[in-house]
A and B are shown apart, each in its own frame.
Chain A
Amino acid sequence: MAPSRGLLRLRQLSAASCRYGSIASGRRAASSFAQHLTNPSAKLQSYISRSRDPFLNLSIEDYVLRHSPPDSVVLFLYTNRPCVVIGRNQNPWLEVNLGILKVAPEQGSSFSNPELPAIGDVDLVRRRSGGGAVFHDEGNVNWSITCPRADFTRDKHAEMVVRALRRLGIERARVNERHDIVLDQGHERRTSDPSDTHRTAYTGDEGAQPRPLKVSGSAYKLTRGRALHHATTLLASPNLHIIPQYLHAPAKKFIEAKGVESVSSPVGNIGLENDIFQQRLQEEFATMYGARDTPPVVRTVGEAELDIPEIRKGYEELRTKEWLLSQTPQFRLKVDKSDLDGWSHELNVLLDINIHHGVIKSVDYSDFLYGTDREAQIRFALVGKKLQDIGDWHDFFRGREGTEALAECLTRWLPIPDTPGA
């Protein structure tokens, strides 16, 4: 079915206005993005976001996955403000140090707690693709490729990025067996094939020290004949030293969880400026798809795209507690008395809570100070509750005598993270 002449002309007009950078109203700019994206003849497309909002960038990306023409390949680049992004089927209490996400930087450097690494507001985001937890900030460029599922392999676009990096002089970059990009740290230079994106002159034998540093982590989403590959690229993160603290969960040893656990790797910065990497990657993308001489126009997207109803809907959904918390696969938090060594004598509790998709299914609780009546009351108060409706544990238990120890325990190991949406 060919589009009508009128529609075609409209598309050309909006494409032209985009190219010459005329400042359109938000609505017009948004609809021009949607029109260009869905244009069946636009086989090769390239976008960059000016927004730093992780919820918005992920929603634009999801829209690209669902609405770009079935045979098109689309490159989308974006950089987020500091945030921790977990995989679709991960457990935030197992992956993230939730307690430091909202700690102001001045508190972090205070004398009372010099260990606190906080850098201020850090968003917590659950993405729609699989994989593990990652930290993003302004020194990290995210690249994403949407292509036909039939052409999809987990490595081919990581290889494209390695080619781009090598062209910029990063000769230690390669794709590893986990489909991530690492920088080899070997001291000895051996002979290597420069076109082999899986091996460098510094690749050591398996398990050799020093370990390669991970600079880019990948995740994928497959749906309706289309495949999305997106990945981080640590170019110059100023927060490298504290990333491990954000991705270390205090409750980890108390949690048994279904779902997907992250594989932690030592990370490093590549040491490039964002602009230089982005431009090189856009060129490499065009080259890979046979358009080196006629590269696709790079279009800018941003907040105006919230006028597109599907993007608005995806954006609101990602910001809800429902998506962040209830998507968590079944897990169990189990705390024994021995885990409480060093706590005050009031904390004589045993706790075993089962949680299915954000709803408390069972509670096994003993409190040596208050006995079985209190235990039954606590069970009754908790079973069937949605975590997202609880908010703050101290507030939740307020007015119930003798629950301070339990509230403290839960605040420490099962804090309910804040979300921008309800």
Chain B
Amino acid sequence: MAARLSVARAARQLTSSAARRPATAYPVSCQRWQKAPIQSRLFTVSAQWEEKKYTEDHEWVELSADGKTATLGISTYAAKALGDIVFCELPQVGVEFSSGDAIGAVESVKSASDILTPISGEVVEVNSALEEVPGGINKDPEGEGWIAKIAVQAEPEGLMSAEEYKKHTEEA
């Protein structure tokens, strides 16, 4: 299993870098040549990312339809456990984070909880509505209560599917 995943990862890295290089150097002539790798890249990406993924620290990430950005938020389980969120510290747009970094924090019932990003990349958008209504996270943590969008550089590892995450929270 692990071996297969790493092969797939290597293949993805190859195809994505191959796709990027000619795009700048030979924008026109390589278009046809480019097509196949892009398709295979989308296929492997969507196989990994067709559903929302979860972290051990109770964040969720979801890839956009074009595969360029990932939306990040905190899970319904976490939002319930934390209680009424009274303040949300959002990251700044344009700042680059590495996976595992705290990109923000929420405060609820005297607790400041770090929001950790499982993906590296630049923050391209934040949910500014949360500055006015931090409780929006409690209302719809995995929808309207999203926290930030990040430009995806590489696929994250070690994330859980919804089912695996459910199991993880039941064990805890």
- Give the distance to chain B from A74, nearest Cβ to Cβ, in Å: 18
Stretch at the interface among B30-38, B44-52, B112-120, B145-153: B112-120
Evaluate contact between A220 and B112: CB separation under 8 angstroms: yes
Contact pick for B110, options A130, A225, A258, A330, CB 8 Å: A130
Q: A202-240: which have CB < 8 Å to B? A: 218-225
A-B contact pairs, 21 of them (CB 8 A): A87-B107, A87-B110, A88-B105, A88-B112, A89-B107, A128-B112, A130-B108, A131-B111, A132-B110, A179-B109, A219-B111, A219-B112, A222-B112, A222-B114, A224-B116, A225-B56, A258-B87, A259-B86, A259-B87, A260-B86, A260-B87
Evaluate contact between B87 and A329: CB separation under 8 angstroms: yes
Evaluate contact between A131 and B110: CB separation under 8 angstroms: yes
Evaluate contact between B131 and A219: CB separation under 8 angstroms: no
Question: Is A361 interfacial (CB-CB < 8 Å)?
Answer: no
Report the separation of the CA atoms of residues A222 and B107 in the bound assembly, to the nearest whole angstrom: 10
Evaluate contact between A154 and B111: CB separation under 8 angstroms: yes
- Name the residue on A nearest B111 (C-beta): A220
Question: Is B125 interfacial (CB-CB < 8 Å)?
Answer: no
Q: Which residues of B contact A179 (CB under 8 A)?
A: 109-110
Question: Is A7 interfacial (CB-CB < 8 Å)?
Answer: no
Q: A96-135: which have CB < 8 Å to B? A: 128-132
Which residues from chain A sit less than 8 Å from chain B, CB to CB?
Answer: 87-89, 128-132, 150, 154, 179, 218-225, 258-260, 329-330
Report the separation of the CA atoms of residues A223 and B109 in the bound assembly, to the nearest whole angstrom: 16
Question: Is B164 interfacial (CB-CB < 8 Å)?
Answer: no
Q: Which residues of B contact A259 (CB under 8 A)?
A: 86-87
Q: Which residues of A contact B113 (CB under 8 A)?
A: 221-223
Evaluate contact between B112 and A130: CB separation under 8 angstroms: yes
B 88-132 binary contact with A (CB < 8 Å = 1; else 0): 010000000000001001011111111010000000000000010
Evaluate contact between A223 and B102: CB separation under 8 angstroms: yes
- Give the distance to chain B from A89, nearest Cβ to Cβ, in Å: 4
Report the separation of the CA atoms of residues A132 and B102 in the bound assembly, to the nearest whole angstrom: 22
Q: Which residues of A contact B105 (CB under 8 A)?
A: 88
Question: Is B2 interfacial (CB-CB < 8 Å)?
Answer: no
Evaluate contact between B57 and A150: CB separation under 8 angstroms: no
- Give the distance to chain A from B169, nearest Cβ to Cβ, in Å: 9
Interface size on B, residues (CB 8 A): 18
B 39-67 binary contact with A (CB < 8 Å = 1; else 0): 00000000000000000110000000000
Which residues from chain B sit less than 8 Å from chain A, CB to CB?
Answer: 56-57, 86-87, 89, 102, 105, 107-114, 116, 131, 172
Report the separation of the CA atoms of residues A258 and B132 in the bound assembly, to the nearest whole angstrom: 8
Q: Which residues of A contact B107 (CB under 8 A)?
A: 87-89, 130, 260
- Name the residue on A nearest B89 (C-beta): A89
A223-B56 contact in complex given A89-B89, A259-B87, C-beta closer than 8 Å: no
Report the separation of the CA atoms of residues A220 and B109 in the bound assembly, to the nearest whole angstrom: 9
Report the separation of the CA atoms of residues A400 and B172 in the bound assembly, to the nearest whole angstrom: 63
A221-B112 contact in complex given A88-B107, A89-B107, A258-B87, C-beta closer than 8 Å: yes
- Give the distance to chain B from A176, nearest Cβ to Cβ, in Å: 13
Q: Which residues of A contact B110 (CB under 8 A)?
A: 87, 129-132, 154, 179, 218-220
Q: Which residues of B contact A87 (CB under 8 A)?
A: 107, 110, 112
- Give the distance to chain A from B133, nearest Cβ to Cβ, in Å: 10
Report the separation of the CA atoms of residues A329 and B90 in the bound assembly, to the nearest whole angstrom: 11
- Give the distance to chain A from B72, nearest Cβ to Cβ, in Å: 16
Evaluate contact between A223 and B114: CB separation under 8 angstroms: yes
Evaluate contact between B111 and A258: CB separation under 8 angstroms: no
Pick the 4 closest A-B CB pairs, nearest first: A131-B110, A220-B111, A130-B112, A222-B113
- Name the residue on A nearest B109 (C-beta): A154
Q: Which residues of A contact B116 (CB under 8 A)?
A: 223-224
Evaluate contact between A89 and B112: CB separation under 8 angstroms: yes
Contact pick for A222, options B89, B111, B131, CB 8 Å: B111
Evaluate contact between A224 and B111: CB separation under 8 angstroms: no
Q: Which residues of A contact B111 (CB under 8 A)?
A: 129-131, 154, 219-222
Report the separation of the CA atoms of residues A179 and B109 in the bound assembly, to the nearest whole angstrom: 9
Report the separation of the CA atoms of residues A129 and B87 in the bound assembly, to the nearest whole angstrom: 13
- Give the distance to chain B from A151, nearest Cβ to Cβ, in Å: 9
Interface centre among A87, A130, A224 (most CB of B within 10 A): A130
Evaluate contact between B57 and A129: CB separation under 8 angstroms: no
Q: Which residues of B contact A129 (CB under 8 A)?
A: 110-112
Report the separation of the CA atoms of residues A129 and B112 in the bound assembly, to the nearest whole angstrom: 5
- Give the distance to chain A from B167, nearest Cβ to Cβ, in Å: 14
Contacts A89-B112, A223-B114 known; list 15 others, CB within 8 Å: A87-B112, A89-B86, A89-B87, A89-B89, A130-B111, A130-B112, A131-B110, A150-B172, A154-B109, A179-B109, A219-B110, A220-B112, A221-B112, A224-B116, A260-B86
Interface centre among A89, A150, A329 (most CB of B within 10 A): A89
Q: Which residues of B contact A130 (CB under 8 A)?
A: 107-112
Evaluate contact between B57 and A225: CB separation under 8 angstroms: yes
- Name the residue on A nearest B107 (C-beta): A130
Interface centre among B108, B113, B114 (most CB of A within 10 A): B113
- Name the residue on A nearest B105 (C-beta): A88
Q: Which residues of B contact A88 (CB under 8 A)?
A: 105, 107, 112
Evaluate contact between A330 and B114: CB separation under 8 angstroms: no
Interface centre among B105, B108, B111, B116 (most CB of A within 10 A): B111
